[in-house]
Amino acid sequence: MKPYFKQISQPHVIGEELMADAINGLRAAGYTLAACAARLGVNSMSGIPFFNGTPSIQDKVTLLLDLFIRQKAVLMIQLEEILSIKQLESLQQMNLINVEAGEVTSDFCLFPCYDKYIVTDHIVKNDAINQIMYLFTESYILGGVVERKPLKRTLDLCTGSGVHAILAASHSEEVIGIDINPRAIAFAEFNAQLNGVHNAKFLLGDLYQPVEGDFDLIIANPPYNPDVLTRAGENFWSGGVTGMEVLSQIIKGLPAFLAEGGRSIIISLFPIMPGTTIQQYVTEWLGSDSAYFDAFESTVFTDNSNSIYYQMPAYIKNENFRFGLLRLKKRVSSKAGEWQVHQMQAVFDGAGVPMHTIKL
Ligand SMILES: C[S@@+](CC[C@H](N)C(=O)[O-])C[C@H]1O[C@@H](n2cnc3c(N)ncnc32)[C@H](O)[C@@H]1O
């Protein structure tokens, strides 16, 4: 039977104070990253597996997890015990909850993400919309390892929900988030307002195309899966047939768009061919500019062969794939670039708090 795909509209911006009040209500109810981690269990290698865990106890936090992550209907009378009528009305006006016959549902996910709250589409595949990627473990890892030190300009490529731009807004004077999907720009702008962020702007376009000047930090979580069914840029997962079409363009743009001394932190699958290394690909993409870059690679083997979203080309073999973080640092003068390789270590402790940052 053909699956039924539903058109889902977008969240609505309402008055800033009402948005802040609704978020404060969720925070006061204990709907925080640490509390969710405690209810769901944490995989220390990969952040919070929001969709895998089954809450061990029933309380206010699990009620909100049911509503905003697990796509369950909850009772209005239960929500009224933890949120005010005004906060519930605001959530309804923002289109974040639907109320019918005493039951409440949500068309969206609403994640606590460090000290911010991020709205995305649901995990269930829906071809009627160009889905905004739910916060995946990789979103938390990247958000957790970026050193939060003061910076002038930050660029978040492939921003999706805007999560990394919004996190960077707290330590950057100016942030720009870019996405090729108009729905992502709408979600990112909504999420910035939801969190009272005013120094981040979101531009529709293909990677660096809408921006000028250079940046101190370029963050990216590109679509990276090798896919024969869809083209790179059509959705949140496809990196084209090789899986590296978007990743390679991001790295090729770094010499021009990173300021001297600037850094890029990228989290990605590196679907490299057997017998090759990530360093070989990156060096080729950077060309003669590779002499200006030092690299810190922190990856782990991953099996990415099974998914309902994409189909890998038959000739691509999974066994050499790496997944993880790559930091590239642009030096002022050229010399043979230094390339450090590390296994990806546990980056989160038992409460979902990152144990180390990647120094910028
Ligand atoms: C893996 S999601 C990352 C979402 C978010 N940054 C996160 O970490 O949770 C990749 C995003 O890249 C966007 N994208 C794909 N190709 C792009 C391109 N050429 N230029 C800009 N954005 C692109 C997709 O629309 C999608 O929102």
Confidence at 132, pLDDT banded by 50, 70, 90: very high
Beta bridge partners of 177: 156, 202
Tally of CB atoms within 10 A around 19: 22
Per-residue pLDDT, 45: 45
Q: How many A from CA of 329 to the centre of ligand 1?
A: 22
The residues, any chain, with a CB within 8 Å of residue 1's CB and separated by 6 or more, are none
Task: Give the residue among 249, 254, 160 at the shortest CA–CA distance from 207.
Answer: 249
Distance 89 CA to ligand 1 centre (A): 32
| Least confident range of 70-74, 294-298, 317-321, 347-351 | 347-351
**Of ligand 1's atoms, which has the minimum distance to the CA of residue 209?**
20
Strands 172-179 and 151-157: parallel
pLDDT for 348 beyond 70: no
Ligand 1 midpoint to CA 348 (Å): 24
- 122-126: long-range pairs with CB below 8 Å, 24+: 122/71, 123/51, 124/71, 125/3, 125/308, 125/309, 126/5, 126/6, 126/8
Phi and psi angles of residue 177, each rounded to the nearest 5 degrees, phi first: -110, 135
166-224 tens-digit pLDDT: 999 999 999 999 999 999 999 999 999 999 999 999 999 999 999 999 999 999 999 99
Do 53 and 66 form a contact (C-beta atoms < 8 A)?
A: no
Residue 245 is predicted with a pLDDT of 98
User: What is the reported pLDDT for 47?
Assistant: 62
Mean pLDDT over each residue of the chain, to the nearest integer:
90
User: Which amino acid is residue 235, in one-letter code?
Assistant: N
Query: Would you say how long the chain is, in residues?
Result: 360
Question: 43-52, 242-251, 285-294: lowest mean pLDDT where?
Answer: 43-52
Percent of the chain with pLDDT over 90: 71
The pLDDT tens digits of the residues spanning 27-76 come to 999 999 888 888 887 654 456 778 877 777 889 999 999 999 999 999 99
What is the band of 234 on the pLDDT scale with cuts at 50, 70, 90? very high
What's the confidence (pLDDT) of residue 24?
Answer: 98
In this prediction, residue 352 carries a pLDDT of: 44
CATH of 137-343 among 3.40.50.10680, 3.30.420.40, 3.30.1360.10, 3.40.50.150:
3.40.50.150
The ranges assigned to domains in the chain are: 16-120, 137-343
> What's the gap in Å between 293 CA and the centre of ligand 1?
24
Q: What is the pTM of this model?
A: 0.95
Element (H, E) at 17: helix 16-28
Q: Which tokens sit at 147?
A: 């050193």
Where are the strands (E) in the chain, listed by range?
74-75, 98-100, 103-105, 109-113, 116-120, 151-157, 172-179, 200-204, 215-220, 258-270, 293-301, 322-330, 339-343
- Distance of alpha carbon 256 from its chain centroid, rounded? 24
Which pLDDT value is given to residue 349?
45
First and final CA of the chain: distance in angstroms?
51
CA distances from 15 to 11, 21, 81, 193 (A): 13, 10, 24, 9
Tens of pLDDT, residue by residue over 325-342, are 999 999 887 776 788 887
What mean pLDDT comes out for the span 110-133? 94
Distance CA 11, CA 142 (A): 25
Beta pairing class for 98-100 and 103-105: antiparallel
Q: For residue 244, what pLDDT is reported?
A: 97
Distance CA 117, CA 138 (A): 16
DSSP 320: G
The secondary structure of 45-65 as a DSSP string is: TTB--TTT---SS-SHHHHHH
Query: How deeply is 34 buried, as exposed, middle or buried, from its count of CB atoms within 10 A (0-12, 13-18, 19+)?
Result: middle
Residue 127, Cβ density class (10 Å: 0-12 exposed, 13-18 middle, ≥19 buried) = exposed
Distance in angstroms (rounded) separating the CA atoms of residues 226 and 224: 7
Alpha carbon of 150 to ligand 1 centroid (Å): 25
Q: Which residues line ligand 1 (CB under 6 A)?
A: 133, 135, 139, 158-161, 163-164, 178-181, 184, 206-207, 221-223, 232-233, 236, 246
pLDDT at 346: 46
Ligand 1: residue of 167, 179, 234, 325 to mutate (most ligand atoms within 8 A of CB) is: 179
Q: Which of 262, 279, 275 lies closest to 215, judged by CA?
A: 262
The pLDDT assigned to 300 comes to 81
Q: How far is CA 47 from CA 43, 58, 143, in A?
A: 6, 22, 10
Q: Ligand 1 mean position to 341 CA, how many Å?
A: 26
Residue 344's CB: how many other CB atoms inside 10 A? Answer: 18
